[in-house]
Amino acid sequence: MNIHEYQAKELLAKHGAPVPAGHAAMSVDEAVAAAEKLPGPLWVVKAQIHAGGRGKGHFKELPEGSKGGVRLAKSIEEVREHASDMMGNTLVTIQTGDEGKEVQRLYVTDGVDIDEEFYLALLVDRATGRIAIVASPEGGMDIEQVAHDAPEKVHTFTIDPATGLMPHHGRSVAAALGLEGSLAKQAAKVTASLYKAFIATDASQIEINPLAVSG
């Protein structure tokens, strides 16, 4: 079963992962109301479909060159404009095919100043049947493209089912992301939260892209 981003973030927050505040919306007015509940002054309006590449996608119904399905808003009025562009329209991404998918839900979150972006995921390794951690310093991008163009930047660590997640896994993730000190400790905590959520939900894959460091 696939779940939307807002549902995934609720799940991760439940298991201790730090996520930006946000609210789901089923209409333009609900999106505006969601933004008004958040402190601002920046908001992010995100189309909710079961496909990656939303930010670089395009809407069939909008003029060529229009923005994609993840947009930054600097005012409540911009939130309304972006929500109006997305709701009910068809978002085409690298994963949807040419037919695209209709946007029926939005997710409005607090905007944050991002210093660095990373990739972190847990999945079931089909070759071994074990849970694997995948980490990369190249976040905010299609991980399959990164693996193709720069495979040395994608790091995989297998978890022994007899012992589960161990402290060395957190250290390995931090090293793979190039993090030290307090950021390394935070990366280890996020990895542990991701693992808890993975086990609790009997998931096949949980992905954070991007995992961000903000000032």
pLDDT in tens, 136-173: 999 877 788 888 899 999 999 999 999 999 999 999 99
| CB neighbour class for 174 (10 Å; exposed up to 12, middle 13-18, buried from 19) | buried
State residue 144's pLDDT score: 82
Q: Is the per-residue pLDDT at 61 higher than 70?
A: yes
Domain 114-214: assigned CATH number: 3.30.470.20
Residue 137: C-alpha distances to residues 155, 190, 204, 213 (Å) = 9, 15, 22, 11
Q: Where are the domains of the chain?
A: 21-110, 114-214
Closest CA to 20 of 4, 42, 1: 42
How far apart CA 64 and CA 67 sit, in angstroms, is 9
Which 3 state secondary structure label does DSSP give 145?
helix
Q: Is the per-residue pLDDT at 118 higher than 90?
A: yes
State residue 114's pLDDT score: 86
State residue 196's pLDDT score: 96
Q: Is the per-residue pLDDT at 122 higher than 90?
A: yes
How far apart CA 214 and CA 138 sit, in angstroms, is 16
Which 3 state secondary structure label does DSSP give 49?
coil
Contacts of 129 (CB under 8 A, 6+ apart): none
For residue range 187-215, what is the model confidence (pLDDT) as tens digits? 999 999 999 999 999 999 999 988 999 86
- The domain made up of 21-110 has a fold known as Dna Ligase; domain 1 (3.30.1490)
For residue range 13-45, what is the model confidence (pLDDT) as tens digits? 999 999 999 999 999 999 999 999 999 899 999
Percent of the chain topping pLDDT 70: 99
Task: Confirm if 208 and 195 have CB atoms less than 8 A apart.
Answer: no
Confidence class for position 1, pLDDT limits 50, 70, 90: low
Percent of the chain topping pLDDT 90: 84
What residues act catalytically?
119, 207
How far apart CA 81 and CA 90 sit, in angstroms, is 16
For the chain, give the mean pLDDT.
94
